[in-house]
C-alpha cells in the first residue's frame, strides 16, 4: 500500500511519502521525503527496555547525520556513533568482527537498536551485524544514496563479501523501518547519483514502465540530479513500491524475488573481476541489463528493439552500455558462485518491458556473442 502522510505537528517538512512493506512477522514503513531523518521516533519508539542506539556510518557523513542523532536522542536513548571506511572493503567478515567487539564493549543488548546511516556498504554491513549479533537485534535503515534508497535498504538482504564473490555471506533480516531523506542526496557526487539511477531504471524495466517515462525528464541533461529533482520523490516511491510488492510475495528469494536481480548476475561478475574497484555497482548493473536485453532478443524471448530501448534510456542518464571487452571464460567461471546458481546459471531476462522471466542459461555461442557485443 502506498499513501501520503501529512506532517502534522512535526517540523516543517516537504511532502512525506510512505510505502508499507507488509510481511508476516516484520512489516515496516519506508518514509521518503525531505526531513525524513527527523521522523525516526515514528519507526522505532515504544520498545520496552531499549536504552542505546548505535549508528554505523562513515566519518565524512557525521555532519549529515545530526538530524538523525537528534531525533534518536529525543527518545531518551544514549546514541553512540561507530565509523567504517567507505568502499566495498568494509563489507567483510573482518569488519563485521570488529563491530561485534565494539558492540560487546558498550555493551549493546538485544532490546537496543543498530542504525545504518550511509549507502549500500553501510546498510549491508550493519544489517548483517544486526542479524547475527546476539542472534538478532533491531536495526533502522537511513540510506544516504539513491542506490541504497531504491534497492539495498529495502527487503532485508544483508551481507558481506568474500574474495570469491559479492554478498556470499549474509542473512535475511528486515529493518524496523527505512528513512529515505531526499536532503542527503543534495551532496551526492554526480557519479554516485547516476549509478543509483541504474537500479531505478531496473525497476522500470521489470515492472513499472512509468518509471522509464519519469527518467526521460533527466535523460541527456548535463545534471541529471537537477533535472529529476521535481520527480525524485515519485521515482523513489515507485521503485520502493516495486521492490516491496516483490519482497512481500517472496521474502527469501525462493522464486519471484529473483526478478530483482535483473542485470545483476553479470554485474556481480564484473565487480568481482575488477576487485570491486573499477566499476560502481550501478554502472555494472547497467552493463548487465544491456547484456540481458540483448540475450533476450538473441534467444527469441523478446522482439528486436528491446536492447536498443535499454541503451537509449541508460545512455541518456550517463550510464555505460558498452565499450567493455570481456574474457567470456572468466565471466562464466565467476557465474558459478552466483547465488541463483541451481544446477546451472539462471539469468533474469525479459520478454518485454514489465515481463521478466528466469531462465537457465548454458554456455554457448549465443551467450558468448551477447558478452562480446558489450565491446561495441
- Residue intervals of the chain classified under CATH 3.40.50.1970 are 2-188
The whole-number average pLDDT for the span 195-205 is: 97
Q: Are 162 and 169 in contact (CB under 8 A)?
A: yes
Q: How far is CA 69 from CA 9, 75, 211, 316, in A?
A: 20, 10, 33, 38
Residue 6 has pLDDT above 70, yes or no: no
Please report the pLDDT score of residue 241 as a whole number: 98
- Distance, CA of 57 to CA of 115 (rounded, Å): 9
The hierarchical CATH code for the domain 2-188 is 3.40.50.1970
- Distance, CA of 167 to CA of 271 (rounded, Å): 11
Q: Are 276 and 86 in contact (CB under 8 A)?
A: no
Residue with cell 549529515: 64
Q: How far is CA 238 from CA 120, 333, 360, in A?
A: 19, 35, 29
Helix axes 93-105 and 120-132, enclosed angle (nearest 10): 60
113 closest CA partner among 59, 77, 156: 77
Residue 127 has pLDDT above 90, yes or no: yes
- Summarised one tens digit per residue, pLDDT across range 49-96 is 999 999 999 999 999 999 999 999 999 999 999 999 999 899 999 999
13: pLDDT confidence band, cut at 50, 70 and 90? very low
Let me know the angle formed at the C-alpha of 93 by 341 and 130, rounded to the nearest 5 degrees.
90
State what percent of residues in the chain have pLDDT above 70: 94
pTM (two decimals): 0.92
Please report the pLDDT score of residue 221 as a whole number: 84
Please report the pLDDT score of residue 11 as a whole number: 41
Spatial neighbors of 305 by CB under 8 A, at least 6 apart, are: 297
282 closest CA partner among 271, 293, 295: 271
3: pLDDT confidence band, cut at 50, 70 and 90? very low
**What is the SS3 assignment for 24-49?**
CCCCEEEEEECCHHHHHHHHHCCCCC
Q: Which residues of 151-179 are buried (b: 16+ CB within 10 A; e: fewer)?
A: bbbbbbbbbbbeeebbbbbbebbbbbbbb
What does the block give as the cell for 341?
546458481
Q: Which residues of 181-216 are buried (b: 16+ CB within 10 A; e: fewer)?
A: bbebbeebeeebbbbbbbbbbbbbbbbbeebbebbe
User: CB burial class (10 A; 0-12, 13-18, 19+) of residue 240?
Assistant: buried
Residue 10 has pLDDT above 60, yes or no: no
Q: Are 281 and 272 in contact (CB under 8 A)?
A: no
The whole-number average pLDDT for the span 88-109 is: 97
Mean pLDDT, the chain, as a whole number? 92
Please report the pLDDT score of residue 276 as a whole number: 62
Please report the pLDDT score of residue 217 as a whole number: 82
4: pLDDT confidence band, cut at 50, 70 and 90? very low
What does the block give as the cell for 134?
546476539
Q: What share of the chain is helix, strand, coil (3-state, %, to 5)?
A: 45, 20, 35
- Distance, CA of 230 to CA of 353 (rounded, Å): 25
What does the block give as the cell for 212?
522509464
- Summarised one tens digit per residue, pLDDT across range 319-357 is 999 999 999 999 988 887 766 666 668 899 999 999 999
User: How many residues does the structure list for the chain?
Assistant: 376
The third-level CATH classification (topology) of the domain covering 252-375 is Dehydroquinate synthase-like, alpha domain (1.20.1090)
Helix (H, G, I), strand (E, B) or coil at 309: helix
State what percent of residues in the chain have pLDDT above 90: 79
- Residue intervals of the chain classified under CATH 1.20.1090.10 are 252-375
Please report the pLDDT score of residue 341 as a whole number: 65
Which ranges of 142-280 would DSSP assign to H, the alpha helix? Answer: 146-147, 190-206, 209-215, 224-228, 232-249, 264-273
Amino acid at each position: 500500500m502506498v499513501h501520503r502522510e501529512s506532517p502534522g505537528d512535526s517540523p516543517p517538512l516537504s511532502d512525506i511519502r510512505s510505502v508499507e512493506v507488509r510481511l508476516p512477522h516484520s512489516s515496516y514503513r519506508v518514509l521518503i521525503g525531505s526531513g525524513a531523518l527527523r521522523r525516526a521516533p515514528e519507526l522505532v519508539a515504544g520498545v520496552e527496555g531499549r536504552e542505546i542506539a548505535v549508528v554505523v556510518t562513515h566519518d565524512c557523513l557525521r555532519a549529515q547525520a545530526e538530524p538523525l542523532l537528534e531525533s534518536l536522542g529525543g527518545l531518551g536513548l544514549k546514541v553512540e556513533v561507530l565509523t567504517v571506511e567507505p568502499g566495498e572493503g568494509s563489507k567483510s567478515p573482518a569488519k563485521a568482527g570488529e563491530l561485534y567487539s565494539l558492540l560487546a564493549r558498550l555493551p549493546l543488548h538485544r532490546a537496543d537498536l543498530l542504525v545504518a546511516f550511509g549507502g549500500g556498504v553501510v546498510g549491508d554491513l550493519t544489517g548483517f551485524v544486526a542479524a547475527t549479533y546476539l542472534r538478532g537485534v533491531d536495526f533502522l535503515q537511513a540510506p544516504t544514496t539513491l542506490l541504497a534508497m531504491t534497492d539495498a535498504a529495502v527487503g532485508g538482504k544483508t551481507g558481506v563479501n568474500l574474495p570469491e564473490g559479492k554478498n556470499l555471506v549474509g542473512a535475511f533480516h528486515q529493518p524496523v523501518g527505512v528513512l529515505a531523506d531526499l536532503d542527503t542526496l543534495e551532496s551526492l557526487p554526480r557519479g554516485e547519483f547516476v549509478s543509483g539511477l541504474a537500479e531505478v531504471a531496473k525497476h522500470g524495466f521489470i515492472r513499472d514502465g512509468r518509471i522509464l517515462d519519469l527518467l526521460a525528464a533527466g535523460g541527456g541533461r548535463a545534471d541529471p540530479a537537477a533535472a529529476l529533482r521535481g520527480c525524485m520523490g515519485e521515482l523513489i516511491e515507485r521503485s520502493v513500491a516495486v521492490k516491496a510488492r516483490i519482497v512481500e510475495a517472496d521474502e527469501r528469494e525462493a522464486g519471484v524475488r529473483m526478478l530483482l536481480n535483473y542485470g545483476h548476475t553479470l554485474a556481480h561478475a564484473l565487480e568481482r573481476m575488477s576487485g570491486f574497484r573499477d566499476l560502481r555497482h550501478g554502472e555494472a548493473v547497467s552493463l548487465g541489463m544491456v547484456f540481458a536485453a540483448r540475450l533476450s532478443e538473441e534467444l527469441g524471448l523478446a522482439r528486436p528493439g528491446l536492447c536498443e530501448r535499454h541503451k537509449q534510456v541508460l545512455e541518456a542518464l550517463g550510464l555505460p552500455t558498452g565499450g567493455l571487452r570481456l574474457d567470456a571464460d572468466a565471466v562464466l567461471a565467476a557465474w558459478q558462485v552466483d547465488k541463483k546458481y541451481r544446477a546451472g546459471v539462471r539469468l533474469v531476462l525479459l520478454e518485454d518491458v514489465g515481463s521478466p522471466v528466469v531462465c537457465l542459461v548454458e554456455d554457448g555461442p549465443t551467450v558468448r556473442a551477447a558478452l562480446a557485443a558489450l565491446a561495441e
